[in-house]
Amino acid sequence: MHTSSAPRITLLVTGSTGFLGSAIVAELLTAHRDIALLFLIRAENPEAGRLRLTQSVRGMLADPALLSHLTPDMILCGDLQHFAELQNDPRVQRITHILHAAALASFAWKPEIWQVNVEQTSQFARAVAQLPAMQRFLHVGTAMISGDTTNQHVHETQFPAKVRHFVPYTKSKAEIEPLLPTLLGRIPVVIARPSIVVGHSRTGCSASPSIFWVFRMIHAAKRVPFKTTNKVDIIPVDFCARALITLTLSSELAHACYHISAGDTESCTFDEIDAAYTRAEGLGRDAPLQQIDVADLSALEPQFESWFGPCDTQRMSTVAKLYRIFAGLNVTFNNQRMREAGIAPPPRFVDYLPVCQQTGEDQPIAEQMLYDFR
C-alpha cells in the first residue's frame, strides 16, 4: 500500500491578510499545494481566522475554488508579540520556513510603526530562534531603505550607515534588518527588499489602490515638482509575491539579500506613465506633463478640488510635497541577484497600468490616499 509521507516543507506566512500577504497566499494556493501551510492571524478561533483570510485572498485568485483548500488547521491564532506562547503547538514545532511579510506599512507618523516593525518583529524572531526544524527565515523589507539616495541605480550592498529617512516606515525597516541574524542565531536569514508595489498585473487596483492614487493626482494636475524624465521602480503585487516565495523556498541561494524590483530596464519615467494613463483613458491626445517648482505647490492649492475632487487642500499639499521627495529621488534598484536566482523581470508598470486605471478610479482620490496613511 502506498502511503504519502509528510510534506518536507512546512511554511509559516505572517501578514497574510494584508495586500502583499493576500497575494502570497493566492500564489501558494495556485502553485504550491505540495507544502504544508500555516498562517499567523489575529483571530478568536481558527475558523474566524480562516474566514478572515478567505475574505482577504478571494480577490487575488483567478480560480476562487482554490479557497476551499484553506482550512482551520492552517490557522495559528496569535500575533508577532505573543508567538512564543504557541511554541508547544506541534504544528509550530514542524515549521521549516517562514515568510515574514507582517508589517505596518504606513506613511503616517505613528509610534505603532516602530512597535510592530522593530520591537514586535524582534520578539517574533527570538521565539522563532527556538524552533527545532527551521531552515530559512525570509524577511520582507523595502528597497526604499536607501533613504535620500538620489539619481542612482542602487545595489543591495549599498546600505549607508547614515541616511536620511523621510518616513518612519523606511527607518523602521532599515533598523530591523541588521538585528535579525543575531536574533535568529543559527537560522539562515534572507532579506528581500521589494521596490514600490502598485496594483496587480491581472486585477489592477481592485484589491488595493495603494500608491496608485499618486499617479491619478499627477495625471489630473499635469504638473510635477521634479523632472518628468525621472524614473520610478514599480512592480505589481502578484510578481512580488511569486518572487518572495521563490526566494523563501529555493534550496540554494547565493546571497543573503535581494532586491525584488523592476531594475533600470523595466522601470518607467513619469512621462511614460502619464502617457500610458492618457492611452488607458481612451480620450485622445493629452497635454504632456509640466515640471514646476516645488515652491509653486502652495499657490496651486485653489485648483486642487477641480483636479482631485473634494479634499482637504492643505493636507493634499502636504502629501504632494512628501511624495515629491520620493518621486524626485530618481532611483532604480539593481535586480541582477534576483534574475540569477531564476526570477524573470516583472512587467513594466505602463503595460498593466490600463487595468489599474479601469479598477482604480471608483473612489475619490482623497479617500484612496488614506490607504497609505492608516
Q: What is the pLDDT of residues 38-91, one digit of tens each?
A: 999 999 999 999 999 999 999 999 999 999 999 999 999 999 999 999 999 999
**259 in a domain, yes or no?**
yes
Among 19-28, 82-91, 106-115, 277-286, the least confident range: 277-286
For residue 48, give its domain range: 10-210+233-267+331-349
Q: Is the dihedral of CA 247, 42, 168, 129 positive or negative?
A: negative
**94 in a domain, yes or no?**
yes
CATH of the domain at 57: 3.40.50.720
Greatest CA separation for the chain: 79
Q: In the predicted model, is pLDDT for residue 93 greater than 80?
A: yes
Residue 122 has a pLDDT of 98
Q: In the predicted model, is pLDDT for residue 1 greater than 50?
A: no
For residue 44, how many other CB atoms are within 10 A of its CB?
8
Residue 95 has a pLDDT of 98
**336 in a domain, yes or no?**
yes
pLDDT tens string 151-165: 899 999 986 667 889
Residue 191 β-bridge partners: 139, 257
Give me the amino acid identity at 139: H
Share of the chain above pLDDT 90, in %: 77
Give me the amino acid identity at 246: T
**64 in a domain, yes or no?**
yes
pLDDT-derived band at 2, boundaries 50, 70, 90: very low
pLDDT-derived band at 7, boundaries 50, 70, 90: low
Q: In the predicted model, is pLDDT for residue 295 greater than 80?
A: no
Which of 140, 138, 145 shows the shortest CA–CA distance to 174?
145
Q: In the predicted model, is pLDDT for residue 310 greater than 50?
A: yes
Q: How many domains does the chain have?
A: 1
Q: Strands 153-154 and 332-333, how do they pair?
A: parallel
Q: How far apart are CA 266 and CA 14, in angstroms?
A: 29
Q: Which residue has the cell 478568536?
A: 44
**315 in a domain, yes or no?**
no
Supply the pTM of this predicted model.
Answer: 0.95
**313 in a domain, yes or no?**
no
Which of 223, 231, 222 shows the shortest CA–CA distance to 350?
231
Residue 28 has a pLDDT of 98
**311 in a domain, yes or no?**
no
**290 in a domain, yes or no?**
no
For residue 129, how many other CB atoms are within 10 A of its CB?
15
Share of the chain above pLDDT 70, in %: 97
